[in-house]
Amino acid sequence: MADFQKAPRDVAIVSVTQDPHSRAVVERNEVELIQPIIQRALEQIGVQKGEIDFTCSGSSDYLAGQAFSFVMTLDAVGAWPPIAESHVEMDGAWALYEAWVKIQSGHADTALVYSYGKSSPGDLPLVLSRQLDPYYYQPLWPDAIAMAGLQARQMLDAGLITERRMAEIAYESREAARNNPNAQLQGSPSVDELLAADFVSDPLRRHDCAPISDGGVAVVLAAGDRARNWVDRPAWITGLDHRIDSHNFGARSLTSAPSAKLAAEKAGVGNDKIDVAELHAPFTHQHQLLVEALGLGDNVSINPSGGALAANPMMAAGLLRLGEVANRIMAGEVDRGVATATSGHLLQQNLVAVLEGA
Amino acid sequence: MTDTDIYGVIPEGLWSQPAIDASAIAELDGVEPIQRVRLPASITYDYIPGLAPTRFLRGLAQKKILGERSAVLGDVYVPPRGMSPAEGLPTTEQVELPHKGSVASFCVVHIGFGTNAPPTPFCSALVLLDGASVSVYGPIQGIEHDKVRIGMRVEPVWVDDDQLAPSFESIKWWRPIDEPDVPAESLKGHM
């Protein structure tokens, strides 16, 4: 791809941690949820917090129902002596992007990235409506599943997908998640059984929707020899890009994901063979949109973790995709993989990362 | 100085909404501007305080003030959030704190903001409980406001026993006690 530009510094994911995701973590608050995950991310590679040059997190006040909720969660990182720190009100994949830029610019060699979301305190489909245009759409309270139904309907009507294929995607994702101890949904009824179920928002059935999850993830990044010293086989980030489509979902076609396609080109997805892909698709039909946008062939293992359809902690599910690919590379199972993260509504914003072994 | 006098010394426009000037946009020149749209929205959350705050709140219902101590540095946090922010580690030990403390700072409020503000003037304070590493916030009563000072010794005034609840409102306010002021050096790091 002519558009692909190699970044100046070699930066890798060297540690990934998460806990099992669940519908509701009712006993612990956000900082009590994420602190053990952060602590293990450092401990499992023998890193002291003082060796981390930059810390960046992703979370959402709308999920927590509290202003500046991320500041309280900073208690989990031990910000004393003072640390260099930042936060994005986005999925942690974008926090990773900021940390990656910080390292590329030479202002850091190492970074801790974490993100978390407890969707259980609020009514998630309604909370998500708050990210829409405040004058035209927010007063109408379109819930997130009903909006996704608009997109699925366009795809079905255009013959781009079938309800059976959507059910197959749900089935394959949750069956794959049997091998993922952190997944919230492990295993699935048969495709025929899924198709016999009632609609939630026609044409979407319950199986077409990601579960509502509480959970978090932490990742450690390191450049060059720092990465090589910490782990035997770092997961090098060889391509990273993110793009945005119109916020006005009435002004764009919903049957493709141009931002994902462009980000994939810029990240160099097609430059070499892809072994594994982890796609952040909260709805079954969006899984297919991402497969097409990235141009993934039949020989690619897609969402072996089960993806967001098996566990979807808001603000973490995207960074988890990068983490799942990184873990497979660090374990030596695969050589080259791609991960996507999405933000906004109906795949509006997409980040694409290419990760490679040695 | 009365409240009215205080309003008079705040520069015009600083605490009020400036007039909208749309004269630079030809289509809007002379048109009465829309100054406000009402788009009511509310979301209900089931708030989860977490393990350590739950222990603290339940303690208040028993007239206890429960801090939590950090493992390495030994700092005592109250109200606890479950973490030692300096260490990035969970607090490991519960500490029942005495019902005595020192004023680390105070503010006499003459203009109340928000619908929940108490009648003005009122005095709010930061109180460093004996044995605690951080201060708690609360109102001061039982003393003329111009007599309140940093280092003054105070104690909590609780609601009646049958009104005790897992809420910080179980402490109505703080009042002075007959003990000598603590020197400012003892509040080092807290003022």
Bridge pairing between strands B76-77 and B65-70: antiparallel
Give A203-213 pLDDT, tens digit per residue. Answer: 999 999 999 99
Pairing of strands A199-201, B76-77: unpaired
Mean pLDDT of A153-174: 98
Q: What is the mean pLDDT of residues B129-133?
A: 96
Residue in A closest to B47 by C-alpha: A121
CA distance A291 to A257: 10
Residues in B touching A32 (Cβ below 8 Å) = 50-52, 82-83, 90
Q: Which of B39, B48, B72, B89 to mutate to test the interface with A (most CBs of A within 10 A)?
A: B48
How close does chain B come to A56, measured CA to CA in Å?
15
Task: Say whether pLDDT at B22 is over 80.
Answer: no
**What is the DSSP code string of A126-187?**
HHGGGGS-TTTTGGG---HHHHHHHHHHHHHHTTS--HHHHHHHHHHHHHHGGG-TT-SS--
At residue A206, φ and ψ (nearest 5 deg) are -55, -40
Among A99-113, A166-180, B19-33, the least confident range: B19-33
Scanning every residue of chain B, which has its alpha carbon at the shortest distance from the alpha carbon of A24?
Answer: B48
Task: Quote the mean pLDDT of chain A.
Answer: 96
Instruction: Say what the pLDDT of residue A1 is.
Output: 47
Least confident of A129-143, A311-325, B95-109: A129-143
Rounded CA separation B125/B102 (Å):
10
Mean per-residue pLDDT for A267-287?
97
Nearest to B53 among A29, A79, A80 (CB): A29
Q: Does B50 touch chain A (CB under 8 A)?
A: yes
For residue B168, give the nearest of B48, B44, B65 by alpha carbon: B65
Which 8-state DSSP code applies to residue B20?
A: P
Q: What is the pLDDT of residue A173?
A: 98
Q: CB within 8 A of B10, min separation 6: which ones?
A: none
Is the model's pLDDT at B19 over the cut of 80?
no
- The pLDDT of A275-291, averaged and rounded, is 98
Residue A134 near chain B (CB below 8 Å): yes
Structure tokens at A145: 């599943």
Three-class SS state of A302:
strand
Task: Please judge whether A29 and B84 are an interchain contact, meaning their C-beta atoms are less than 8 angstroms apart.
Answer: no
Using CA atoms, how far residue B190 sits from A146, A292, B65, B80, B125, in Å, is 52, 58, 19, 17, 12
CA pair distance A7, A25, nearest whole angstrom: 39
Chain-chain contact of B88 with A120 (C-beta, under 8 angstroms): no
If pLDDT is split at 50, 70 and 90, which confidence band does B189 have?
A: confident
Q: What is the pLDDT of residues B24-46, one digit of tens each?
A: 888 877 777 777 788 888 999 98
Q: What is the dihedral of CA A252, A258, A259, A263, to 10 degrees?
A: -170
- Contacts of residue A35 in chain B, CB cutoff 8 Å? 82-83, 88-90
Percent of chain B predicted with pLDDT > 70: 88
| A226-245 tens-digit pLDDT | 999 999 999 999 999 999 99
Whether the pLDDT of residue B4 is over 60: the answer is: no
Residues within 8 A of A (CB atoms), B 152-191 only: none
For residue B190, give every residue at least 6 positions away whose Cβ sits within 8 Å of its Cβ, in sequence order, or none.
Answer: B104, B126, B128, B134, B135
Specify the pLDDT at position A278.
Answer: 98
- Residue range A295-317: average pLDDT? 97
Q: Report d(CA B16, CA A172) in Å as an integer.
A: 59
Q: What is the pLDDT of residue B118?
A: 81
Could you tell me the two tokens for A279? 């796609």
- Given this model, what pLDDT does residue B17 score? 63
Q: How many angstroms separate the Cα of B76 from the Cα of each of A276, B67, B69, B90, B132? A: 48, 6, 4, 12, 5
Confirm or reject CATH 3.40.47.10 for domain A11-120+212-230, answering yes or no.
yes
Over residues B7-12, mean pLDDT:
60
Confidence at residue A221, expressed as pLDDT on a 0 to 100 scale: 98
Summarize the confidence of residues A124-149 as an average pLDDT: 93
B48: nearest CB among A62, A121, A127: A121
What is the Cα–Cα distance from A258 to A349, expressed in whole angstroms?
A: 9
Mutation for testing the B interface, residue in A32, A49, A137 having most B CBs under 10 Å? A32
Q: Does B58 touch chain A (CB under 8 A)?
A: no
Q: What is the secondary structure of A195-237 as a DSSP string?
A: HTSPEEETTEEGGGBPPPBEEEEEEEEEEHHHHHHH-SS-EEE
Rounded distance between C-alpha atoms, residue A229 and residue A222, angstroms: 10
- Cβ separation of A29 and B48 shorter than 8 Å? yes
A contacts of B37 (beta carbons < 8 Å)? 135
| Residues ≥6 apart with Cβ < 8 Å to A277 | A291, A294, A296, A300, A301, A302, A303, A325, A337, A338, A339, A340
Chain B interface includes A35 (CB < 8 A): yes
Q: A100-107, long-range: CB within 8 Å, 24+ apart, which pairs? A: A100/A11, A100/A221, A100/A237, A100/A240, A102/A53, A102/A54, A102/A56, A103/A9, A103/A11, A103/A54, A103/A221, A103/A223, A104/A7, A104/A8, A104/A9, A104/A11, A106/A9, A107/A53, A107/A54
A38: which chain B residues are within 8 Å (Cβ-Cβ)? 88
Q: Could you list the beta-strand ranges (E) of A27-146.
A: 54-58, 85-88, 110-118
For B48, nearest residue in chain A (alpha carbons)? A29
The CA-atom distances, in angstroms, between A162 and each of A96, A154, A189, A280, A300 are 35, 11, 18, 20, 21
- Report how far residue A311's alpha carbon sits from residue A215's, in angstroms, rounded to the nearest whole number: 9
Q: What ipTM does this complex have?
A: 0.85
The CA distance from A259 to B87, in Å, is 41
- What pLDDT is stored for residue A43 in this prediction? 98
Q: Residue B85: which of A28, A49, A75 has the nearest Cβ?
A: A75
- Give, in order, the Cα–Cα distances in Å from A335 to each of A179, A300, B7: 20, 12, 69
Residue with tokens 């510094």: A9
Question: How many CA atoms does the CB half-sphere of A219 hold within 13 Å?
Answer: 35
Asked whether A22 and A185 are in contact (CB, 8 A), the reply is no
Q: What is the CA radius of gyration of chain B?
A: 22
Predicted confidence at residue B114, as pLDDT, reads: 74
Inspect the interface and report whether the beta carbons of B43 and A126 lie closer than 8 Å.
yes
Alpha-carbon distance of B171 to B164, in angstroms, equals 9
CA dist B64 to A46, A140, B84, B153, Å? 40, 47, 21, 19
Q: Is the pLDDT of residue A131 over 80?
A: yes
Q: Is A65 on the interface with B (CB under 8 A)?
A: yes
pLDDT in tens, B50-94: 999 999 999 999 999 999 999 999 999 999 999 999 999 999 899
* B1 — pLDDT class (breaks 50, 70, 90): very low
The answer, for B39 touching chain A at a CB cutoff of 8 Å, is yes
d(CA B80, CA B65): 10
**Separation CA B181–CA B149 (nearest Å):** 9
How does residue B157 score in pLDDT terms, banded at 50, 70 and 90? Answer: very high
**pLDDT tens digit string along B133-146?**
999 999 999 999 99
Residue of A nearest to B85 (CA): A75
A316 and A38 Cβ atoms separated by less than 8 Å: no
B34 has a chain A CB within 8 A of its CB: no
Q: What is d(CA A47, CA A12) in angstroms, rounded to the nearest whole number?
A: 15
pLDDT of residue B159 exceeding 90 = yes
Who's near A168: CB < 8 A, 6+ residues apart? Answer: A191
Alpha carbon distance A188, A170 (integer Å): 8
